[in-house]
Amino acid sequence: MPTEIDLLRVNGLTLSFDDGAMKKDVLKQLSFSLLRGRVTALIGESGSGKSLTAQALLGMLPQEAHVSSGTILFEGEDIRTWSEHLLQSYRGGQVGIVFQDTFGTFDPLYRVGSHFQELYAVHAKLSKSKAKERALQLLGEMQFPDPDRVYRAYPHELSGGMRQRVQLGLALAPEPKLLIADEPTTALDMPIQADILRLISRWNRRTGASVLFITHDLGVVDEIADEVLVMQHGEIVESGSKLDIMTRPAHSHTKALLADYA
């Protein structure tokens, strides 16, 4: 049942790809809630439908995807009924996004600072100097010892781990109510993974905003999650608090994932 603590509620979402010859359901009657202030981990094997779920919540599904049923309620309003214009201000405004790779986030011809300036101009109508002030503060919060240097850098001048921290800063800049992180640490070395998880946790606690953290790694779930959704072949097969899922798994797939982790 939806309650006032749901930030986002998905009801009966079914999505398929039609390649002419056959229709393939990849999300099947998905129903779940993201609670306010909570970190929810979405875990499942590669190909189980995690990224498509994220794309659906962002209102940015591929053209070929066909949604045959379901609602996606953000603060009670169905984003499936929104115009592209509304969705654009929702993405990067109320909802921030971090992906595994940063190619789509950065324009290689522009310095990091220009990325922040554009974002702040669009979402907060800030002047260049105000935008710079806010960006430097945020880069400091992202644990860069010399924010000014990062602000002036071109994306290719940064390491992968640094780019990922900047991407997180850009996602958090508009002060979203929800951060969706789709395997943001998968390609990174262990210490950098830990940094990113710490930054996301700290932001969640400080702001009381919600996080959907997508991963195939139970170690990450253990580290960061309050709530867990377990996905298999396009279905949520189990959901509950982290403690319940980790100590009293009910579904065979969850048990199998845990057996691999232990």
Nearer to ligand ADP, 72 or 112 (CB): 72
Under the binding rule (CB under 6 A), the answer on residue 44 touching ligand ADP is yes
| Joined tokens for residue 92 | 């990067």
Contact 238, 253 (CB under 8 A): yes
Instruction: Tell me whether residue 62 or residue 104 sits nearer to ligand ADP (CB atom).
Output: 62
Choice between 44 and 176, CB closer to Mg ion: 44
Among the listed residues 19, 24, 99, 14, the one whose alpha carbon sits nearest the alpha carbon of residue 58: 99
62 touching ligand ADP, by CB under 6 A: yes
Confirm if 54 and 28 have CB atoms less than 8 A apart. no
Q: Which does 245 bind (CB under 5 to 8 A by kind): Mg ion, ligand ADP, none?
A: none
Closest CB to ligand ADP: residue number: 51
Nearer to Mg ion, 9 or 50 (CB): 50
Q: Find the Cα–Cα–Cα–Cα dihedral 79, 82, 84, 90, rounded to 10°.
A: -50
**29 versus 207: smaller Cβ distance to ligand ADP:** 29
49 binds ligand ADP (CB under 6 A): yes
The residue number with the shortest CB distance to Mg ion is 51
Query: How many Cα neighbours within 13 Å face the side chain of 238?
Result: 19
CB of 52 to ligand ADP, least distance (A): 3
Q: Are 151 and 112 in contact (CB under 8 A)?
A: yes
Candidate residues 51, 88, 105, 241; the one interacting with Mg ion per rule CB under 5 A: 51
In this complex, which beta carbon is closest to ligand ADP, that of residue 111 or of residue 216? 216
Q: Is 14 in the site for Mg ion (CB under 5 A)?
A: no
Backbone φ, ψ for residue 97 (5° rounding): -135, 135
How many Å apart are CA 35 and CA 178, to the nearest integer?
Answer: 10
* Residue 100 binds ligand ADP (CB under 6 A): no
Strand-pairing partners, residue 72, are 10
Q: Which residue from 88, 73, 96, 63 is spatially nearest to 181, judged by alpha carbons? A: 96
Out of 38, 50, 132, 253, point to the residue binding ligand ADP (CB under 6 A): 50
Q: Rule CB under 5 A: say whether 16 interacts with Mg ion.
A: no
* Residue with token string 């945020």: 138
Residue 110 Cβ vs ligand ADP, minimum distance, rounded to whole Å: 29
DSSP annotation of 120 reads H
**Interaction site with ligand ADP (CB under 6 A):** 17, 26, 44, 46-52, 62, 64
